[in-house]
Structure 1
């Protein structure tokens, strides 16, 4: 009864405090937060920590396990501040409370194992997530102190201490804000796993085997991604406003703290976990986390070993590290031999575990974040303040991993990721690196046919025609199928792109673009490559039997392919079928190129004005060095 009266008093006083003088309670701002508050293009509201009495009230509610009431008070307070004047800073929960709310979002006690009790156990996770999302989108990742809150426990740190990565976090973890509940300490997600990558590996494991858990892990990982993306974007803007030469603000980003000292090979192993056809064994984060959930396959996870971070006992998190050391070291020092990739028995991960397809956009977004921060920080290396990895090494190893993917997964990484920033730049870079892995030695080099375009590392029609399209790779059907898929995706992307034509063009007096059909040379190159790959793989292109129309024969071939769509020969046939069908439809191509206007006037229709001096695929290449 006393606790209930105390809680009611807390709630009443917390709402009445909203209109009080906020400025008298604000703490001294850190340099980066002060910089964010200077006159600028407003991206987020300024923030300040809540007054001590309000924080104490919320802390009491959390420690009394009245979590739903605590979150409702926080949410009501945040909502009320939306009516304040634009220049007034908003109160936000301190980092210790933000971290605790993160645990509530994903902990099984409030998700898959939640009970319908008087404490609204099930709704706590939803309300915690909504509050975090509202804080992120209103005051932003820096003013919301998400970096301090979302810091994973460092194995090498002293018991009970959280990592600090930059001056902006130096005294945000105030001992006065510390919660006493076990769920905010030893049982929090930040203490149960040593780093972001271990957590991500387990999330992917749930997509493979535990759909009930994956529903919640997907939501949580996507939220973390939004935090990291907004954090990097905000830091880039602040760094530009401060005219920083050493890019200290950018180097203090959340994604950089998560990369830390991890080797690129280890990070990529996590990013391709469970879709690469290899075995992985990430462990449950909380004991019996998956109990009473349904496994979607017969593979069982091992027993949970003892985990006690206070005594430096890390269970079996390191169990597989020795097994992957050799591979990671090889990747960090150079290429993994192709023969090693091909010698592994490949399964169809997306066929066995369809939910894994939902992980692919997440994997791509994380890679895009790493790519962006590496590009922005340059190629000076971590030791002298530069990027954690060079762009060339990052994309080369990433392409190597994609090259080794099973055929049901490979196409998901072979087309442009239109849902990501700088999609064209990443796609061009990745396509060039994949081509380097797939094309045979001795093929015509881009520098020998279009030196100007190659100097900028773009892709032009002449490079497609002479350097990519006419080739087959080795005699392995799988490799030729991957090459065919990549060529088709790059070819179709170039044709659809609004700054490229695969045939000659001219501008009339009104500035309208007039396209000729795809050149005979381009068509011949594509057909030569198709024939070369089919010859290597001993596949015959059968002519339609008498009595079959073109579309009847096409339907029959598609039916045969669909019976085993991920068989290497069928993947190859499908890519070639698309090529042949496209090349044979000259009238339809011209009509599509014209768009809704007669000749594709700039700003109307599918195509825009093409400059004669730059007839190449748009988008900045990220560089070889």
Structure 2
């Protein structure tokens, strides 16, 4: 694997471990809780060098693990009592990003740094090593022994969380309910997604360059596979990962994916926010003045949780109420523009940033499944799980996941596979099957476009129409679709079929008419877009896109 690693790292600076004295110096800063000084020193060491080919002094895995904790720990973020503590989180993010950019995740030993120890530490009574190796941070020179402070050990991210998917589930719960904590978890999760993506691409590039070695064997060393394989869920691992990605702040989701840090949602009271005389003291190491760095942390405080849940409420359209106040509120809701309603629905699911990160994780799992079907699971099984979790989402969220023009993280072939998997399970059973493995114009116009959903609800037929829009865009972007009479007829037939089917149900059922008023609008507008895409934007048969 050494030769492979060298080829993988060809675009990065050569990684060089910190000398023992510098590691010891950084350890002293961290153990005295002088986080900003320690991180600043590591940043200066990492970026020193006059040329791009100069070796980079890389932070030790213990430093990177601690930086990842500082990035989201309440004591340095939402519960920070001083500017110094708050600044440490920003410096930690800068160190992590620069390490990834300059030397890459493999040479930086992210796989060692980002190791969850929740269950291993529990089995050993919270002890990491024998007594002689944990009594002091001085003298260790290995990559796995954590630094000698609580936030690097029992209170670290890697000890508090059960595994990566515990964090994912809790982070997305925060995106729906706790915006202040989500702000921090979003940053952490964005970095981890980037690290996993770069790590995966490096290993793929190495395989392509060597043209030897088994892809599945090499990818077992990837960061994303480490997080998958070390999940504690056993036989229910795969479904638990999907539940984490689609965590929605519900009671069930909160029960399964609890807060990572103790009293993480605690709000600082006014007294805590007001700096005391001690906290205003400047740091002067020569004079043994450390300000508030040596004060006790607040992680174990028993103060009650003062965080309030702030789940965004979805607009209700078409309901009636005898209460004048309620009626007035509903009248205002009806006056909302389509854009306002869309934003409300998206906000109720955590916002676009949350949806983008969810899709990035789905895209990563798709790549793992494609490369490691024997070790992980095959694509068909994975996309069945995707369908189970996506098909019942609210319309705006559903559209965001399946449309190639809204969220960009799925590659075109993966986006097409997802849309087809949803279509097969939502389309009426009278539609024919196809022997073609890949999507093409013939398959689209014969198997998908002319048909309605298997149910008569406006929402299901609107979702089916949105899926067809996405497939047309995907094929057109790859110059695989032409405006032909057969295609136009298939679009018109399908539009009519879906609208008639949904309209009949609405006429029969007054409750459906009131509840699906907005969904009906989505269906009609999607039908109009389908016709416009085919008639106005696609090149005529026999012509190229340029013509």
TM-score (norm 2): 0.75
Q: CA deviation at 1:156?
A: 5.2
SS in 1 for 2:503: coil
Q: CA deviation at 1:177?
A: 5.7
In structure 1, distance between residues paired with 2:460 and 2:25? 63
Relative to structure 1, the CA distance from residue 175 to residue 370 in structure 2 (aligned partners, 3 Å threshold; closer, same or farther) is closer
Which residue of the partner structure matches residue 102 of structure 2? Answer: 138
In structure 2, distance between residues paired with 1:405 and 1:79? 46
Equivalent position to 1:266, from 240, 243, 255:
240
Task: Give 5+ residue unaligned stretches, structure 2.
Answer: 130-139, 268-305, 313-342, 507-513
1:524 pairs with 2:489: yes
Equivalent position to 2:64, from 85, 92, 98:
98
In structure 1, distance between residues paired with 2:118 and 2:150? 18
Q: CA deviation at 1:41?
A: 7.6
1:126 pairs with 2:95: no
Relative to structure 1, the CA distance from residue 53 to residue 565 in structure 2 (aligned partners, 3 Å threshold; closer, same or farther) is farther
In structure 2, distance between residues paired with 1:418 and 1:237? 28
SS in 2 for 1:42: helix
SS in 2 for 1:91: strand
Equivalent position to 1:390, from 378, 389, 392:
378
In structure 2, distance between residues paired with 1:149 and 1:285? 18
Do the aligned partners of 1:211 and 1:294 also contact (CA within 8 Å) in 2? Answer: no
Which residue of the partner structure matches residue 470 of structure 1? Answer: 450
Which residue of the partner structure matches residue 407 of structure 1? Answer: 395
In structure 1, distance between residues paired with 2:418 and 2:193? 22
Which residue of the partner structure matches residue 236 of structure 1? Answer: 204
In structure 1, distance between residues paired with 2:146 and 2:346? 46
1:297 pairs with 2:297: no
Do the aligned partners of 2:117 and 2:158 also contact (CA within 8 Å) in 1? Answer: yes
Which residue of the partner structure matches residue 5 of structure 2? Answer: 36
Equivalent position to 2:417, from 429, 437, 445:
429
In structure 2, distance between residues paired with 1:235 and 1:502? 38
SS in 1 for 2:57: strand
1:214 pairs with 2:178: no
Q: CA deviation at 1:446?
A: 2.2
Do the aligned partners of 1:565 and 1:571 also contact (CA within 8 Å) in 2? Answer: no
In structure 1, distance between residues paired with 2:456 and 2:378? 33
Relative to structure 1, the CA distance from residue 443 to residue 461 in structure 2 (aligned partners, 3 Å threshold; closer, same or farther) is same
Relative to structure 1, the CA distance from residue 284 to residue 99 in structure 2 (aligned partners, 3 Å threshold; closer, same or farther) is same
Relative to structure 1, the CA distance from residue 568 to residue 175 in structure 2 (aligned partners, 3 Å threshold; closer, same or farther) is closer
Q: CA deviation at 1:240?
A: 4.1
* Counterpart mapping for 1:80-229 below 5 A: 80-81=48-49, 83-84=50-51, 86=53, 88-116=54-82, 120-155=84-119, 158-159=123-124, 160=126, 174=142, 178-229=146-197
Relative to structure 1, the CA distance from residue 50 to residue 352 in structure 2 (aligned partners, 3 Å threshold; closer, same or farther) is closer
Do the aligned partners of 1:275 and 1:356 also contact (CA within 8 Å) in 2? Answer: no
- Please list the CA deviations of residues 446-468 of structure 1 after superposition, one character each: whole Å capped at 9, or x if unmatched: 23xxxxxx1xx222222222211
Which residue of the partner structure matches residue 13 of structure 2? Answer: 45
In structure 1, distance between residues paired with 2:428 and 2:249? 26
Do the aligned partners of 2:401 and 2:407 also contact (CA within 8 Å) in 1? Answer: no
Q: CA deviation at 1:429?
A: 1.2
In structure 1, distance between residues paired with 2:366 and 2:491? 32
In structure 1, distance between residues paired with 2:127 and 2:45? 30
Do the aligned partners of 2:9 and 2:107 also contact (CA within 8 Å) in 1? Answer: no
Which residue of the partner structure matches residue 263 of structure 2? Answer: 288
Structure number having the greater helix percentage: 2
Q: CA deviation at 1:183?
A: 0.6
**Higher alpha-carbon deviation: 198-207 or 396-405:** 396-405
In structure 2, distance between residues paired with 1:98 and 1:195? 17
Which residue of the partner structure matches residue 509 of structure 2? Answer: none
- Please list the CA deviations of residues 234-275 of structure 1 after superposition, one character each: whole Å capped at 9, or x if unmatched: 122234445213643311111111111552111111111118
Do the aligned partners of 2:15 and 2:57 also contact (CA within 8 Å) in 1? Answer: yes
Which residue of the partner structure matches residue 253 of structure 1? Answer: 222
SS in 2 for 1:48: strand
Relative to structure 1, the CA distance from residue 250 to residue 571 in structure 2 (aligned partners, 3 Å threshold; closer, same or farther) is same
Do the aligned partners of 1:411 and 1:485 also contact (CA within 8 Å) in 2? Answer: yes
Q: CA deviation at 1:73?
A: 0.9
In structure 2, distance between residues paired with 1:141 and 1:147? 8
1:567 pairs with 2:518: yes
Q: CA deviation at 1:370?
A: 1.2
Q: CA deviation at 1:116?
A: 2.7
Relative to structure 1, the CA distance from residue 111 to residue 85 in structure 2 (aligned partners, 3 Å threshold; closer, same or farther) is closer
In structure 1, distance between residues paired with 2:383 and 2:141? 37
In structure 1, distance between residues paired with 2:104 and 2:30? 24
Relative to structure 1, the CA distance from residue 409 to residue 459 in structure 2 (aligned partners, 3 Å threshold; closer, same or farther) is same
Q: CA deviation at 1:535?
A: 1.9
Do the aligned partners of 1:152 and 1:162 also contact (CA within 8 Å) in 2? Answer: no
Task: Give 5+ residue unaligned stretches, structure 1.
Answer: 1-30, 164-171, 300-347, 383-387, 448-453, 504-517, 542-562, 601-606, 610-625
Q: CA deviation at 1:420?
A: 5.0
Larger RCO: Structure 1 or Structure 2 (Cα < 8 Å, ≥ 6 residues apart)?
2
RMSD: 3.2
* Counterpart mapping for 1:478-497 below 5 A: 478-494=459-475, 496-497=476-477
Equivalent position to 1:534, from 495, 499, 521:
499
Q: CA deviation at 1:498?
A: 3.8
Relative to structure 1, the CA distance from residue 123 to residue 564 in structure 2 (aligned partners, 3 Å threshold; closer, same or farther) is farther
- Please list the CA deviations of residues 32-86 of structure 1 after superposition, one character each: whole Å capped at 9, or x if unmatched: 4x64236x782212212111011001111111111111111111111213x1572
1:63 pairs with 2:31: yes
